[in-house]
Structure 1
Amino acid sequence: MEYPWTILFFFISLALSIVAALISTIILEAYRRRFNHGHIEAPAIFEDPNSLKRVPCPSIFDPAEKYMSLIVPAFNEEYRLRGALEETINYLQQRAAKDKSFSYEVIIIDDGSVDGTKGVAFNFVRKYSVENVRVILLGRNHGKGEAIRKGMLHSRGELLLMLDADGATKITDLEKLENQIHAVAVVKKEGSRDPSIRISDIPITAFGSRAHLEEKALATRKWYRNFLMKGFHLVVLLTAGPGIRDTQCGFKMFTRSAARKLFTNIRLKSPDACRR
């Protein structure tokens, strides 16, 4: 009878250790951010390949100038980026032609690529103008998290969508996230005393998910990857609570207010990412 209790005690101890470690990490990181100002960075820039001029990027604190910004981080994506951008921009142009109130921008963040990613991105700027397609150059590889953060902080949209450069998600699926955000915004507006409130002023996020494909993925992935995935899900369960099934899908939409709160308070740099 002692064996089951030993196993139970082990898992309880493991869970408590993980929670304690996470809490300690959060406290230490909060302390570091409060008293360390070494993260202050030089302003980001984007380039207009037609005029060859570098222009300061807008700020997430500025009023929105577009309805939607699409943030595309890219690191050595020379061969996949072209197809993904063509599909994305074709959809955006068709939608803009049908709805004159719809405006957009696509922001490609070149995360220190060493292949032809930069050239592919600038070809789209030349084709569709710097008003609709912009490229932010990070100079060296900082990691995907920092690339997304840069794009978010220098976007102009009321709604901001992050998506991967490989086109793994159908671009038309953004309407599902958009509809969910609008549904929540309607409720928020009804409860607000300010009739002039805009959707960009309400902090809302909508996350895409591939959880419905989990059974198929489990059958094709190696056993150790499934083991690591289940372990990560356990950590998410312990830290964030039940109900969150997919945190890794790179297809997420934020209102401008939500992005301002989230991406001005995170530091996701990866100093050694260039060695991957």
Structure 2
Amino acid sequence: MSNELTISENSGAASGSSATEGLTGGGERAGFASLPVNPTRKAEIASIMATDIHRYYDEKLDREYAALLEAERAEINPDLVNPTRPMDAEQSRNSLCSSEAGRRLVSDWDELGGFRAHLANVQRDAADMVRPLGGNREQRVFMERFDRHVPEPARYAVYAEIASGTLYATPASPAEVKHFATTSAGKLLVAEWGSSAPERVAMLRARAKRMTDAMTEEDADEFWTWFDELPPATAMSIFRKMAG
């Protein structure tokens, strides 16, 4: 998930679309990051590494060098690159701060205990949701679709909800659990959760309401349309994490 959380393997240079360029809209993601292929810059850093190792580490050129190497690998075969490798916190902050909605999210996280801590938690939880979907290609495709079809403010509402952690909600009624089980994913999860289904369904309902309340009506419609079209296995992966 995406442009704001992970390192994009395709900042315009790789042959395939980036995991968020299709999923969260395109361009570099605020949470998962990468650089375009740049042989000249790579040679410059290699020279510094060979002649001034202290500068190499003091200026954090080791990170840039690693990103350039990964960009080269991604250009050859994007499927070799981990699509959920976390973006550096400062890169993520800069990416988020390019829009008003992103600046609000950064400000909220700063006030609620620190941007870095919340970002790291969201990056970890987003990766946990995506990882069960398959190999690097399947994960990247999911993220690309998320970036492409979910409006930016809605994406940030999702990130904010993930960052909020677990919450208490009054257990769902039998009717609410039954309604949740009317979908293929819901039916399988209710059977999987057993006696804990009322608590988990209630948590999902509470999270869904909070996310919807944080979006405009138009953004919420686009988000839930995207979500309703997910394959059952994908929806289950997200539900498990959000209800855990």
Band the TM-score falls in, shorter-chain normalisation: under 0.3
Structure of larger gyration radius = 1
Q: TM-score, normalised by structure 2?
A: 0.27
Q: TM-score, normalised by structure 1?
A: 0.25
Structure having the larger proportion of residues in helix: 2
